[in-house]
Chain A
Amino acid sequence: GAVVSQHPSWVICKSGTSVKIECRSLDFQATTMFWYRQFPKQSLMLMATSNEGSKATYEQGVEKDKFLINHASLTLSTLTVTSAHPEDSSFYICSAPPGLAGGPLSEQFFGPGTRLTVL
């Protein structure tokens, strides 16, 4: 199946700093990638849709100035958590649909996730 990688797998930072998380599609091109957040014992919540060559689309309630998304190429999307606070501590997961390369557009393959802890 399609492979999606994320880096770093975990990160610990101090309150007020910014953290960048990378999401890469390794064996296919992804014009669209999705960013999710998952708090303990809760389901995945979609934060935003990352679009190559255009602005990201954010879900209601997600601060676009705090969660900066850049889809720099057809294989890379980055999520930057700016001025992180302890309440931003969560499991951040990206996904990408392989589309014509590997299946129906709506099937998504997930990266391994990044666990962010803000002290």
Chain B
Amino acid sequence: QKEVEQNSGPLSVPEGAIASLNCTYSDRGSQSFFWYRQYSGKSPELIMSIYSNGDKEDGRFTAQLNKASQYVSLLIRDSQPSDSATYLCAVNGGGNKLVFGAGTILRVKS
């Protein structure tokens, strides 16, 4: 069974710091990786997608993928209190289905 593992947290960082969120996955054949942000009581919002090894940057967000280590991470620079949310790592499980990790709670303290 395909699995996605995340540390549930909470991860607490001070405002302005870099938040680092990590995720590992079990299926070595996975090709597509996603980070979603979910505020309490809301549905997930796509933040980043990454498909090849290396880094992908979008504003304050950087996704990093290492397929050899089956590891994907999300860095949030200059963290803001509004970044406080649950961050879900998702991996394409075949047939466009997504397999989600349990999510990491991020708290940015002002």
Contact = CB atoms under 8 A, between A and B. Distances in A.
Interface of A: 1, 32, 34, 42-46, 49, 93, 95, 97, 104-113, 115
Of the candidates B34, B92, B97, B101, the one having the most CB atoms from chain A within 10 angstroms of its own CB is B97
B98 A43 contact: no
Contact of B43 (A34, A43, A111): A111
Contacts, number: 53
Given A44-B44, A110-B43, A105 B103 contact: no
Given A108-B46, A110-B45, A113-B42, A44 B100 contact: yes
Given A43-B103, A107-B49, A93 B34 contact: no
Given A1-B46, A108-B98, 10 more contacts: A43-B88, A49-B97, A93-B43, A106-B92, A106-B96, A107-B32, A107-B34, A110-B43, A110-B46, A113-B42
B102 interface: yes
Interface in B63-107: 88, 92, 95-103
Given A49-B95, A104-B32, A43 B45 contact: no
B87 to A, nearest CB: 11
| Interface footprint category on B | 20 to 34
**Interface of chain A, helix or strand or loop or mixed?**
loop
Contact of A112 (B32, B43, B97, B98): B43
A99 B98 CA distance: 14
A46 B98 contact: yes
A89 to B, nearest CB: 14
A34 B46 contact: no
A32 B98 contact: no
Contacts of B88: 43-44
Contacts of A93: 43-44
A113 B32 contact: no
29 contacts: A34-B98, A42-B102, A43-B100, A43-B101, A43-B102, A44-B100, A45-B100, A46-B97, A49-B97, A93-B43, A97-B96, A104-B49, A104-B51, A105-B96, A106-B32, A106-B92, A106-B96, A107-B34, A107-B46, A107-B49, A108-B34, A108-B96, A110-B43, A110-B44, A110-B46, A111-B43, A112-B43, A113-B42, A115-B41
